[in-house]
Amino acid sequence: MHIPSNDRYGTMRYRRCGASGLKLPEISLGMWHNFGHEATEANAREMILTAFDNGITHFDIANNYGPPPGSAEEMFGKVFKSDLAPYRDEIIVSSKAGFYMWPGPYGEWGSRKNLVASCDASLRRTGLCYFDIFYHHRPDPDTPLDETMGALDYIVRSGRALYVGISNYNPSEAAEAFKILRGFGTPCVIHQPSYSILNKSPENGLIDTCGKNGVGMICFAPLAGGRLTDKYINGIPADSRAAGSSPFLNADSITPKLVESLKKLQGIAERRGQTLAQMSLAWVLRHTAVTSALIGASRVSQILDCVKASGSSAFTDEELKEIDAAV
């Protein structure tokens, strides 16, 4: 069994999640695409334990993460059982439901049937007794929002989760969800949108909506799928996502215009004494409404680089103008 570092809380900073009592590390580890059956258990274990040793106490999963769907939860469950079970009270584990998982009318979206069944299946795969946070993963255009939020309320009241959140909701959808959950007496503590230097859409109302409602934000894809690192500045590496068959990033996405922007951003980062990845994470965290930046990783070195972004979110007005101009 792993013996964690005694200094694991030495450098990571923690932020309160909205108006709740929950605190998250500024850098959290997501298990979207590198912890399924295609990953080696040894590498997955090393990444999870390295994250914990460096103050990352929050691990974010979803029922459809893999590939195949469900396998990331299984992988986390194996590592938790073998190494982290004694430290359960130090760890925040979140999962989600809403994307396709099984055939038939209840295998996705936001019905009470889907969310409760999904939560139970996720608990079985991870081997946990409860989740710290359980999310609705995406808005459902057909199910009444009262039903979806009522299912989240039930998941908390039944002991399956301590807190609830939403993901991928636009500002008006989020505001209504927050209102309904407050009415149930189970307030939403967190929203998970995509946010990065290359995707500023949450600045169009969502950050303000979360702030006004006392809801924290954890931002996924703060490194834009690896583009906001030094990986693609000098071409497309053969072992990179863009060189493979990923539907989320391909070689056509690495345009000359993007590379030019990345080189400018890297120059700003170097003047700040940071890597491009560190600066990109700090840029997301500059907002007090943002609780955590959610990183993905395929190797330990990436995690060790990213954790150094904690505590470095101060920018001058000139730096922010330069960053805007670069993109």
Q: Give me the residues of the chain with pLDDT under 70, please.
A: 237-251
* Burial class of residue 314 in the structure, from the number of CB atoms within 10 Å of its CB (0-12 exposed, 13-18 middle, 19+ buried): exposed
Strand 23-25 relative to strand 14-16, pairing: antiparallel
The answer to whether 249 touches 59, Cβ cutoff 8 Å, is: no
Map tokens 């989600």 to a residue.
96
Q: For residue 35, how far is the Cα from the chain centroid?
A: 14
Phi then psi for 31, rounded to 5 degrees? -120, 45
Query: So what's the pLDDT on residue 238?
Result: 65
What count of residues does the chain have?
A: 327
Task: Could you list the beta-strand ranges (E) of the chain.
Answer: 14-16, 23-25, 27-30, 58-60, 92-97, 131-136, 161-167, 188-192, 216-220, 290-295
pTM of the complete model: 0.95
* Burial class of residue 257 in the structure, from the number of CB atoms within 10 Å of its CB (0-12 exposed, 13-18 middle, 19+ buried): exposed
Q: Which amino acid is at 176?
A: E
The CATH architecture of the domain made up of 14-226+275-312 is Alpha-Beta Barrel (3.20)
* Burial class of residue 154 in the structure, from the number of CB atoms within 10 Å of its CB (0-12 exposed, 13-18 middle, 19+ buried): middle
Query: So what's the pLDDT on residue 253?
Result: 76
Q: For residue 304, give the nearest of 58, 84, 50 by alpha carbon.
A: 50
C-alpha–C-alpha distance, residues 197 and 281, integer Å: 9
Q: Is 248 left (phi over 0), alpha (psi -120 to 50) or beta?
A: alpha
